[in-house]
């Protein structure tokens, strides 16, 4: 008897082809459409159209399509943390939490209650069995690899997961969809916040966070302007500061270099390569291992943002479960609240939230 697999059908081409491949492989495939953001009256949420696209895919494949809302769990476990981090002046990545808590958390549990042996998605990553549970590897298509966003999913969850697109190039996925008559073969890829979609970010945040004006300052303490809230800015940001054309200053763009949460001050510098934008090291919160935990320092590749090339670094595990990462060369705009993710070759070793950074120079020296 074939195993039942529930595929998270988002209405896009990737999950559609994942379902197609699993059905062709002989699995008992059913689809699940998740609609977890309920405030869709602003014209930016595409859930209604996505659901119709998922229905069309399911009809073409001849599979059942279930629909579920995990809106309460999403708001409590993902969006609530997203807002708390912004209030603390940090820059969170909700896609990582969304994968851990929703797609491979409550959705996986929901699939198992329906009798599925596995939950499948259209993520671009590779899974292989290992003695410790599911092992996560980069996708063959480097440009689409999503292992960075999956590093916080547990090994137990990964062992009950299928990702059929891990060996494929994106172009091959679209061609397979076209040849198979799937109606979403040329649908553009979605971007933006997980389940919330693409929208003007600052305007969106002001619906949930108060405006808290404070000074925009140079590293030496010179006041240059006023910001409307640290939550609306991220390290390395250019533009949106409203401080261009400062008298006596060179005509160079301004970048956010730091946030002084205690004083509600935004520290900015001029020039893309200003030394205050670079960090030599970072410290993380509790590290989530996707391989046997290491106890001694070791060299590996580390990403501090999606689509970044692996940067050579020394990973220094600490006795409290946190990690210090020391880079071979300084990294630009390392951002607390984002994630440091480690790789050994193609294998993802895990990662953690960036808690603090060690700038290449002190502010006083760079003023």
Per residue, the 3-state secondary structure of 286-301, as one string, reads: CCEECCCCCCCCEEEE
> What is the SS3 assignment for 350?
strand
Q: Are the CB atoms for 197 and 190 separated by under 8 Å? A: yes
DSSP state of 25: T
Q: How far apart are CA 328 and CA 351, in angstroms?
A: 18
Give the start-end residues of each E strand in 179-222. 214-217
45 given a catalytic annotation: no
Q: Which of 45, 98, 300, 348 is catalytic?
A: 98
98 given a catalytic annotation: yes
Q: How far apart are CA 115 and CA 145, in angstroms?
A: 30
H/E element, 177: helix 170-179
Q: What single string gives the DSSP state of each residue in 43-59? A: S---HHHHHHHHHHHHH
* Residues near 102 by beta carbon (within 8 Å), at least 6 away in sequence: 34, 36, 70, 73, 74, 77, 78, 194, 195
In this structure, the strands spanning 323-332 and 339-344 are: unpaired
Q: How far is CA 192 from the centre of its chain?
A: 10
Neighbours of 349 (CB within 10 A): 25
> What is the SS3 assignment for 32?
strand
Neighbours of 278 (CB within 10 A): 19
Nearest to 257 by CA among 354, 182, 367, 177: 367
Secondary-structure percent of the chain, ordered helix, strand, coil, rounded to 5: 25, 30, 45
Dihedral Cα 305, 306, 308, 312, nearest 10 deg: 60
Q: How far apart are CA 132 and CA 155, in angstroms?
A: 7
Positions marked catalytic: 98, 194
């Amino acid at each position: 008897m074939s195993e039942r697999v529930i595929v998270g059908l988002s209405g896009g081409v990737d999950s559609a082809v994942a379902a197609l491949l699993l059905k062709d492989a002989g699995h008992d495939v059913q689809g699940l459409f998740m609609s977890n953001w309920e405030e869709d009256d602003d014209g930016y949420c595409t859930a209604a159209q996505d659901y119709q696209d998922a229905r069309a895919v399911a009809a073409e494949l001849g599979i059942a399509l279930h629909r579920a809302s995990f809106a309460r769990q999403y708001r409590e476990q993902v969006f609530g943390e997203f807002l708390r981090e912004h209030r603390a002046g940090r820059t969170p990545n909700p896609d990582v939490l969304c994968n851990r808590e929703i797609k491979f958390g409550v959705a996986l549990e929901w699939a198992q209650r329906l009798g599925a042996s596995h939950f499948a998605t259209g993520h671009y990553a590779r899974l292989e069995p290992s003695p410790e549970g599911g092992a996560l590897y980069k996708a063959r298509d480097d440009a689409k690899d999503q292992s960075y966003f999956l590093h916080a999913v547990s090994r137990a969850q990964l062992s009950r997961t299928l990702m059929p697109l891990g060996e494929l190039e994106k172009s091959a996925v679209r061609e397979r969809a076209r040849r198979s008559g799937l109606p979403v073969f040329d649908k553009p890829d979605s971007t933006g916040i997980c389940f919330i979609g693409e929208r003007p970010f600052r305007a969106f945040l002001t619906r949930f966070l108060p405006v808290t004006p404070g000074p925009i300052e140079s590293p030496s303490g010179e006041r240059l302007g006023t910001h409307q809230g640290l939550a609306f800015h991220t390290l390395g940001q250019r533009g949106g500061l409203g401080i261009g054309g400062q008298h006596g200053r060179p005509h160079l763009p301004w970048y956010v270099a730091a946030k002084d949460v205690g004083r509600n001050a935004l520290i900015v510098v001029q020039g893309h390569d200003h030394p205050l934008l670079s960090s030599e090291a970072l410290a993380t919160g509790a590290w989530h291992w996707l391989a046997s935990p290491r106890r001694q320092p070791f060299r590996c590749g580390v990403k501090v943002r999606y689509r970044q090339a692996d940067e050579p670094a020394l990973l220094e595990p600490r006795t409290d479960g946190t990690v210090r990462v020391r880079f071979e060369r300084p990294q630009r705009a390392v951002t607390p609240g984002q994630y440091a993710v480690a790789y050994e070759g193609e294998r993802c070793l895990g990662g953690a939230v960036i808690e603090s950074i060690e700038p290449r120079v002190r502010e006083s020296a760079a003023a």
